[in-house]
Structure 1
Amino acid sequence: MSDFLLTPPEGREPLQASFSDIANPLGLDGIEFIEYTTNKPQSLGQVLETMGFRPVARHRSREVLLYRQGGLNIVVNAHPVDAMGASHGSDVPAIAAMALRVRDARAAYQYVLERGAWSVPTHPEVMELNIPAIHGAGGSRIYFVDRYKEFSIYDVDFVPIPSVDQRPPATAGIHFFGIVQYIGPGRSNDWIAFYNDLFGTELIPDEQRFGIMPKGTLLRTPALDPNQRFMLQLIEPEVNVVDVDERLQRIGLGVPDVLVAVKALRALGVEFVETEAAHTERRGAISKTYLGSVVFELVHSEKE
């Protein structure tokens, strides 16, 4: 959360149309992990495995499991207090956090606090890292991680599952493409300002679209490695829609060939939406909704 989201439009600076590609105030370098909270970790785990993820490690002190494929990490948090808080008492899984890779986590955290971000108090247990975080959409958290190369956060907080490949290959070249965020009516400018001021995001022109779900506003983050840039898609509710809760709604996964990826994932058991309004094509595809809330979107995306 940020003061930007509480300041009326007339009290803010005008939005700029674009920003320099070299503007990277946090030293952002992509997404380290996405965290789901759930009180049904086995069911969510089954969904993730159909998407090609494999469980590779368990948290040392909490009911948390790490799933991985290629360079993607998904954390499934079933710790009772965390699961209840992030889902607001709902039985469906929720995207509770995204962790951003940065050059210096402490410096990045201080930078965003100075610009109005709201801190999240953390209470690490013995042998746990203290990972700084701020509030995001709908009570979610945005973590800052600078241990992601040779020595990572998982080397401290997690114990590898015996006899399991710690680096399972990515199915059909899957990689992180972005996050889809549902926002409240008339809130696009607030969130554009939030991500621009804190992270240096670039506003993508409306005529430049990706995938088969083109609604909303697109932002692209900077990154130290161009291959680690990712998208944020902000979607306001349709007129007369009852559900206007703000939240991180789904993960976008990039693939070099959508049709090949869909074939591979169908072989693993994934079902895709095939309707007149949304159907598999070379630009993208979208999975059916699992467990009431879990959706994966495929987008054509070539690594540089």
Structure 2
Amino acid sequence: MSDFLIKPTASAREPLQASFSDASNPIGLDGVEFIEYATGKPQALGQVLEMMGFRPIARHRSREVLLYRQGGLNIVVNAHPDDARAANHGGEAPSISAIALRVRDARAAYDYMLERGAWAVPTHPEVMELNIPAIHGAGGSRIYLVDRYQDFSIYDVDFVPIPTVDQHPQATAGIHFFGIVQYIGPGRSYDWIEFYRELLGAEPIPDEERFGIMPKGKLLRVPALSATRGFLIQLVEPEPNVFDTSERLQRIGLGVPDVLAAVRALRGLGVEFVETPEAHTDPRGAITKTYLGSVVFELVHSEAGGA
């Protein structure tokens, strides 16, 4: 396992506490709470998200951050200048800067990950802000751990609802979170498989079991307490002779019960889809054009979906 991903520790294999007795889901994962984009152009990104069916529902109390939602999907648009510059490494294009995971106990999960060598992210919450623990992920991104997602959520503390806006807009065409696609460096598949297996309990899916229309790389299934909240991570190494080998969270996979119906609905909202011999709309999946230089969504046939 690469020490770039996980620090070696003497107690890496020692059990931490009785609450992590479930080997298949050691931190009590229960799906994704939100995906965060960092951008210096929040209005432009907001227009793309609204085409995809998301609606702005709340503003952060103290930062330039806006919460978008549809169904059980939350996307945070972070335009706070320091955060945007750091996440985008000085570039202009928006980037997926964080993924927040629902867990049974955030502090216990955080300690479990640090015991196994994860790199902690120092947090500096402002007055009246929650201190949400996080570790480092791909390309400078963060993996947050959230245990407030039932009746009382993190948004009740950190965000102010936008007046007159429906706080629970219906999902377009049954859209739900399916997975995340991560670009990795050459020969790095094993390192990242071990990273997610060690920290999240993720397990590789056999190569012959594929999803969507872009069956590249390695697929990992991430467990969840609820059967409808598990998700996939797709690890994609660069093609030979590709110049850009940077590691990053590249795109979001959205599950829909009927891909063709979802494409029709989203086209009605203005979304354009890639139609080439290699990547085109079919009942298994579809992929949008790239917006703002980096923002792309993939649709995958999936019946499951939970808030």
Q: Alignment partner of 2:98: what SS? A: strand
Match of 2:170 in 1: 169
Q: Alignment partner of 1:266: what SS? A: helix
Match of 1:76 in 2: 77
Match of 1:215 in 2: 216
1:197 aligned partner, one-letter code: E
Q: Alignment partner of 2:228: what SS? A: helix
CA distance in 2, matches of 1:23, 1:209: 22
Please state if 1:49 is matched with 2:53.
Answer: no
1:292 deviation in Å? 0.1
CA distance in 2, matches of 1:273, 1:137: 26
**Alignment map for 1:114-263 (pairs within 5 Å):** 114-263=115-264
Match of 1:277 in 2: 278
Q: Determine what percentage of the aligned residue pairs are the same residue.
A: 78
- Structure 1 unmatched runs, 5+: 14-20
Distance 1:227 1:173, change over 3 A: same
TM norm structure 2 = 0.93
Per-residue CA deviations over 1:139-178 (Å, capped at 9, x if unaligned) read 0000000000100000000000000000000000000000
Per-residue CA deviations over 1:82-125 (Å, capped at 9, x if unaligned) read 00000000000000000000000000000000000000000000
Match of 1:3 in 2: 3
Match of 1:16 in 2: none
2:175 aligned partner, one-letter code: I
Match of 1:24 in 2: 25
CA distance in 2, matches of 1:269, 1:132: 37
1:33 deviation in Å? 0.1
Contact 2:281 2:287 in 1 (8 A): yes
2:106 aligned partner, one-letter code: A
CA distance in 2, matches of 1:23, 1:4: 25
Contact 2:219 2:235 in 1 (8 A): yes
Match of 1:107 in 2: 108
TM norm structure 1 = 0.94
Match of 1:92 in 2: 93
Contact 1:22 1:222 in 2 (8 A): no
Contact 2:61 2:159 in 1 (8 A): yes
Distance 1:251 1:3, change over 3 A: same
Task: Show structure 1 runs of 4+ deviating over 2 A.
Answer: 1-8
CA distance in 2, matches of 1:48, 1:228: 22
1:4 deviation in Å? 6.6
CA distance in 2, matches of 1:82, 1:7: 25
Aligned CA RMSD, in angstroms, stands at 1.8
2:190 aligned partner, one-letter code: N
Distance 1:101 1:2, change over 3 A: farther
Distance 1:292 1:31, change over 3 A: same
1:254 aligned partner, one-letter code: G
1:303 deviation in Å? 1.3
Distance 1:79 1:2, change over 3 A: farther
Distance 1:154 1:2, change over 3 A: farther
Match of 1:17 in 2: none
Match of 2:304 in 1: 303
CA distance in 1, matches of 2:47, 2:2: 36
1:2 deviation in Å? 7.5
CA distance in 1, matches of 2:120, 2:6: 16
- Structure 2 unmatched runs, 5+: 14-21
Contact 2:63 2:80 in 1 (8 A): yes
1:6 deviation in Å? 6.5
Contact 2:6 2:195 in 1 (8 A): no
Match of 1:61 in 2: 62
1:22 deviation in Å? 6.5
CA distance in 1, matches of 2:198, 2:236: 19
1:214 aligned partner, one-letter code: P
Q: Alignment partner of 2:128: what SS? A: coil
1:208 deviation in Å? 0.1
Q: Alignment partner of 2:143: what SS? A: strand
1:7 deviation in Å? 8.2
1:202 deviation in Å? 1.3
Contact 1:4 1:194 in 2 (8 A): no
Q: Alignment partner of 2:135: what SS? A: strand
Distance 1:138 1:151, change over 3 A: same
Per-residue CA deviations over 1:61-86 (Å, capped at 9, x if unaligned) read 00000000000000000000000000
